[in-house]
Amino acid sequence: MKNRIKTILIIPAILLVASSLTMAQELAANLPADVSADNPVQNWSSYGGSPGGGQYSALNQINRQNVSKLEQAWVYHSGDVSDGADGTAKTPLEVNPILANDKLYICTPFNRIVALDPGNGTELWNHDPGLDRKNTYSKGAYCRGVAYWSESNSNKAGETCTKRVLSGTGDGRLIAVDANTGKLCSDFGNEGQIDLNSYDYHGEGTISQTSPPVIYQDVVIVGSTIYDSKWANAPDGIVRAFDVRSGVELWNWNPIPEHLRDTVGAANAWAPISIDTKRGWVFLPTGSPSQDTYGVQRSDPIPYGNAVVVLDALSGEEIWSYQTLHHDLWDYDLPSMPTLVEISHDGEKVEAVLQATKTGFLFVLDRLTGKPLFPVEEVTVAQSDVDGEKSSPTQPVPQFPPPFTPQSIKPEDAWGLTFWDKKQCRKQLSALKNEGLYTPPSIKGSVLYPSVSGGSNWGGLAFDPESGLVIINSTNIVTSQKLVPREGFESSADAKKKFGKSISMMYGTPYISIREYLASSFGIPCNPPPWGNLTAINTVTGKIEWQIPFGRKPIAFGLLHTPKGWGSPNQGGPMITKGGLVFIGASIDKKIRAYDLHTGEQVWSEKLPAPGTATPMTYLHEKNNKQYIIIAAGGYPTFGTDLSDAIVAFTLRE
């Protein structure tokens, strides 16, 4: 009832403020020099469009001139949806479908693998791995995608499992099924599956799989998802490679130095991995070592944490690595796949790696060496006052491109609908340690801005090979991070009774960690809007071409929305097509939108059954010669949105 009263009170205030707001848009008309595509694709056969990512399609049947004629073609419902009310894990639907073998392949949050007819969305088959749906494992019920492999030996053509779909599961299995029937490939591992937790990960707890495996030739490679801030000696973030036919392990690589493996873990690649198919290199985005917000037990350098690491896909030998953050105390994992592109740099075409971060930086690295193509400086940062903590004295800060999300806030910057709630926010910010980006966690409590949700997150970026533009969506919400002596708290339930916040127990350390979104009593974030942005970055000049507020938040029981200029938190990623369009769901207002790539002007939108907190894909269906835009519209439990099990397809009306 209290929440309802607050909502009713807030509506007039919002409408009053909305009338005086204008969207903060700076649009540039000039385009950068042409560059060649790294791996242009038409049909989306890998997560992110191609093994190297990019979230780009060379299809242009749907373009700026006709996008207004786009309409819903079909909807598929998997049946795998839960709000957690019955104890079943909640179900964000984050899958990026792929098209291969004349079929669309998806995975559901409960790790069922499903094949669909790409022309009408009819289910052709499904494989259920029998996941315990009331066990959330490491991270809950997630599955972002699957991988496809086809036998190169023509003598075996037509045999069972000469075409395979591979997928990970929440309980840490790697599964291979026949791409035509969905039946387990009995020659792979133990009757079609490998229990990854049967391997030694050198720590407490288990690993799970949330992102798709990647495949190079006949090698399938997997990272892992590890529960954040639970165990000091978490499982190590070991990357493993298996023979795609037999399931025999071929190599493994551990990011944790050998002398720390009995006390420290994680630094895992939970986000999607990318492949340079020309060189046979695998690109890993690694995260923070455990514990995420307490580093006393890992004061020795861990150079492979929070790094882009490149390995030989056939042997596991290191090629190069580049660390984007030293001694992570904020859970600023690298959240998305390293994107392999070709850009124009200093008048020459250069093969590059683009890595977006939660902090709002875009690192642009030489693909052959890992050296930054734009200057990166080691900048002095605030130091920890926690006993025994040796925070890094400096952090790497790209000088170009500029940050695509705000990175600092002062108490006088606090925002509110009225003087009263603005004063509330100013008071919250004034009570915290606040020394800009990389303010370490403290017992007093510290500002964490951007939050652990980003900046950029797992949705990553899209790259246009013709213009050299990068499109990134970001969330801009201020939070706090506090360390509390753990004495007297036996479990997270004990801590939540007192604090009622997001609690991480950090077993094996003297503290528990508390994170909180800073908001007024109206539920409005304490930082000024926009709370979500869509940004275009020019990789030729290193400058921002345009940036617009992105997304809207439903209010008043969904009858109204916040003003356009406010933006909203978002999850998922963008897609670019040769038709000069950017497609993106991600926002929590149940909309999929299309924008003009070169101006940021919105040119189309359509309502979805639930927020499309995923990344769209596109393909041309050969049987009817129609281009389709596909998005998973399942909602996002963390944002408290409606949930769904829908895969929605759009095409041009006749």
Strand 602-607 with 591-596, pairing: antiparallel
Mean pLDDT, rounded, for 403-417: 96
- What pLDDT is attached to residue 559? 72
Segment among 89-103, 128-142, 332-346 with least mean pLDDT: 128-142
Whether the Cβ atoms of residue 362 and residue 472 lie closer than 8 Å to each other: yes
Asked if pLDDT for residue 75 goes beyond 50, the answer is yes
- What pLDDT is attached to residue 293? 95
Whether the Cβ atoms of residue 644 and residue 81 lie closer than 8 Å to each other: yes
CA gap 411, 428 in Å, rounded: 8
Calculate the dihedral angle through the C-alpha atoms of 427, 432, 434, 439, rounding to the nearest 10 degrees.
-150
Tokens of 50: 């191609």
The DSSP string of 62-108 is: S-TTTGGGEEEEEEEE-S----STTSPPP-------EEETTEEEEE-
pLDDT tens digit sequence for 570-616: 999 999 999 999 999 999 999 999 999 999 999 999 999 999 999 99
CA distance readout (Å), 333 to 262, 397, 505: 22, 16, 19
User: In sequence order, what are the residues at sequence separation of 6 or more whose Cβ sits closer than 8 angstroms to the Cβ of residue 568?
Assistant: 531, 532, 550, 551, 552, 553, 562, 587, 588, 589
Query: Sign of torsion, CA 612 614 618 621?
Result: negative
Whether the Cβ atoms of residue 401 and residue 364 lie closer than 8 Å to each other: yes
CA gap 336, 573 in Å, rounded: 10
Asked if pLDDT for residue 6 goes beyond 90, the answer is no
Percent of the chain with pLDDT over 70: 93
CA gap 244, 314 in Å, rounded: 12
pLDDT tens digit sequence for 368-382: 999 999 999 999 999
The DSSP string of 263-285 is: T--B----SPPEEETTTTEEEEE
- What pLDDT is attached to residue 297? 92
Asked if pLDDT for residue 40 goes beyond 90, the answer is no
**What is the CATH number that goes with domain 2-478+518-652?**
2.140.10.10
Segment among 41-45, 195-199, 266-270, 341-345 with least mean pLDDT: 41-45
| pTM higher than the cut 0.85 | yes
Mean pLDDT, rounded, for 268-289: 98
CA gap 177, 185 in Å, rounded: 5
Residue 348: pLDDT band with limits 50, 70, 90? very high
Mean pLDDT, rounded, for 287-303: 95
Asked if pLDDT for residue 513 goes beyond 70, the answer is yes
Is the backbone peptide bond immediately before 399 cis, with ω within 30 degrees of 0?
no
Confirm whether 117 is a catalytic residue: no
Tokens of 505: 């127990």
Mean pLDDT of the chain, nearest integer: 91
- Which residue has 């940004």 as its token pair? 535
Asked if pLDDT for residue 5 goes beyond 80, the answer is no
Residue 10: pLDDT band with limits 50, 70, 90? very low
Residue-wise over 490-528: b if at least 16 C-beta within 10 A, else e? Answer: eeeeebeeebeeebbbbbbbebbbbbbbbbbebebbbbb
The helix/strand/coil state of 565 is helix
Asked if pLDDT for residue 22 goes beyond 50, the answer is no
Percent of the chain with pLDDT over 90: 83
- Which residue has 């129609």 as its token pair? 626
Asked if pLDDT for residue 433 goes beyond 90, the answer is yes
Domain definitions of the chain by residue range: 2-478+518-652
- What pLDDT is attached to residue 139? 63
Segment among 35-39, 331-335, 618-622 with least mean pLDDT: 35-39
- What pLDDT is attached to residue 489? 80
CA distance readout (Å), 569 to 303, 425, 644: 31, 19, 19
> Which of 75-78's residues contact partners 24+ apart within 8 Å by CB, and which partners?
75/121, 75/609, 75/646, 75/647, 75/648, 75/649, 76/116, 76/121, 76/122, 76/123, 76/646, 76/647, 76/649, 77/644, 77/645, 77/646, 77/647, 78/106, 78/108, 78/112, 78/114, 78/645, 78/647
CA gap 552, 358 in Å, rounded: 21
Q: Which of 331, 333, 464, 645 is catalytic?
A: 331
Mean pLDDT, rounded, for 86-108: 96
According to DSSP, residue 212 is labeled P
Is the backbone peptide bond immediately before 338 cis, with ω within 30 degrees of 0?
no
